Amino acid sequence: MTSVEHCERRLPLQISHTRLRRPAVEPLLQLVVEQGNELSTPSARAIKSRASRWLHQGRDPGWGLHPERFDPDRVHEAMRWCARLFDSGCLYPVESHGFDQLPTSPAMLVSNHSGGSTVLDCVGMAYAWYRHFGTSRPLHFLAHEILLSTRLTGPFFDRVGVLRTSRSLAREVLSEHRRDVIVMPGGDRDTWRPWKDRHRVRFSGHTGYARLALQTGVPAVPLAHIGPHDTLLVLTDGERIARKLRLHDLFRIDVFPIHLSLPWGIGIGPWPHLPLPTTLRYRLGAPIPLPCEPMADPPAELVAEYDLQVRTALQIQLDELAGLPSVPPAVSLRGRVRRRISERVKLAERLRGAA
């Protein structure tokens, strides 16, 4: 059934009962189909929160939707300003390692997210990247749509290559533009995790990046960093409060943290803060090999397995940066219990054998 025929069957009674012949009705049906197609454009799909729709007032300027808007001159200008913050001896000196392991473009960097809404980790990584590669190799960050919804931030981030978080947009960048992408699957839950968990990977079950890697044939490159989470003290992420306030529907955020930070003292909510001085350390790992050829619809089991491999590699890198013993992230509480039981059984068997 064609789109026009489908719409014709669902026309209101006052239209379908008229004596208009089909040639006269056809333009009206086609208009309905075209309006429906407009609602399914990438721009409409990318705007999801009520706050972003209100800020756009129904007229989306398209910030963060066009990778071709990347402007090297804007990046050079930003780098000159960032050097005052991130060079050696400044407030937030950047140390980076492992760039020699990065494959040729396109690559998909998969990173933890830290430091609250100030996004110091992203700016520091961008500085390390362009300091190493220059602007000949653009890096596109996938960011929360609210960052690209205001005139204060949208035009600038749009010109330096920041894109709205969208799997179809990331696929376009990797497959068509052949450029590098960095994703932070943990999102707000990761960047606002409690300080005691600052060295733990927290993706909260988000596996879209793993599915994208299996679909495009672009392996994930784990990128670990520490430092930004030491610029404040997150006491709790406040997920229960966020659910009560329905913040996901309003702003697409799932946390309402309580933190000790400047200038707030005790900060309540995901407000940006003034970061305390600290060293930002980044480490790129080796690409995680894909288990198969690219496929349009990889099975869930394969996606989960690849996600676990990436998280395990990322956790090992985080532990090395922090000087902690490497402990791969558990899949679930059930997995931890099963592993502990298995270890106890093996130990008991060894003791019986020795006796």
Residues 13 and 61 occupy one common structural domain: no
Does the residue 47 lie in any domain?
Answer: no
How far apart CA 303 and CA 33 sit, in angstroms, is 35
Specify the pLDDT at position 348. 65
Say yes or no to pLDDT of 7 above 70.
no
Residues 88 and 135 occupy one common structural domain: yes
Residues 29 and 162 occupy one common structural domain: no
* Residue 194 phi, psi dihedral angles, 5° rounding: -55, 150
Does the residue 45 lie in any domain?
Answer: no
Q: And the tokens for 8?
A: 């014709």
Specify the pLDDT at position 34. 39
Say yes or no to pLDDT of 267 above 60.
yes
Residues 81 and 35 occupy one common structural domain: no
Residues 18 and 64 occupy one common structural domain: no
Residues 93 and 174 occupy one common structural domain: yes
Residues 78 and 147 occupy one common structural domain: yes
Q: And the tokens for 183?
A: 């994703």
- Where in the sequence is the domain holding 309, given as residue range(s)? 55-325
Compute CA distances 247 → 195, 238, 243, whole Å: 22, 11, 7
Total domains in the chain come to 2
Residues 24 and 71 occupy one common structural domain: no
Specify the pLDDT at position 50. 64
Over residues 223-249, mean pLDDT: 95
Residues 91 and 28 occupy one common structural domain: no
* pLDDT tier for residue 9 given thresholds of 50, 70 and 90: very low
Say yes or no to pLDDT of 323 above 80.
yes
Say yes or no to pLDDT of 112 above 50.
yes
pLDDT tens profile 30-78: 433 333 333 334 443 456 666 666 666 666 678 999 999 999 999 999 9
Does the residue 200 lie in any domain?
Answer: yes
Region of poorest pLDDT, from 2-6, 114-118, 287-291 = 2-6
Specify the pLDDT at position 116. 95
Residues 119 and 79 occupy one common structural domain: yes
Does the residue 262 lie in any domain?
Answer: yes
CATH number at residue 97: 3.40.1130
Compute CA distances 47 → 41, 73, 160, 189, 212, whole Å: 11, 28, 20, 20, 20
Does the residue 349 lie in any domain?
Answer: no
Say yes or no to pLDDT of 331 above 50.
no
Residues 184 and 118 occupy one common structural domain: yes
Specify the pLDDT at position 32. 33
Say yes or no to pLDDT of 185 above 50.
yes
Would you say the pTM of this structure is higher than 0.75? yes
Does the residue 46 lie in any domain?
Answer: no
More confident residue, 90 or 349: 90
Specify the pLDDT at position 342. 62
**% of the chain surpassing 90 pLDDT:** 67
Does the residue 268 lie in any domain?
Answer: yes
Say yes or no to pLDDT of 228 above 90.
yes
Helices (H), the chain: 3-9, 13-16, 22-39, 42-46, 50-56, 72-86, 120-133, 154-159, 167-172, 187-191, 208-216, 239-245, 247-251, 300-322, 333-354
Does the residue 59 lie in any domain?
Answer: yes
Residues 20 and 114 occupy one common structural domain: no
Specify the pLDDT at position 249. 86
Say yes or no to pLDDT of 177 above 60.
yes
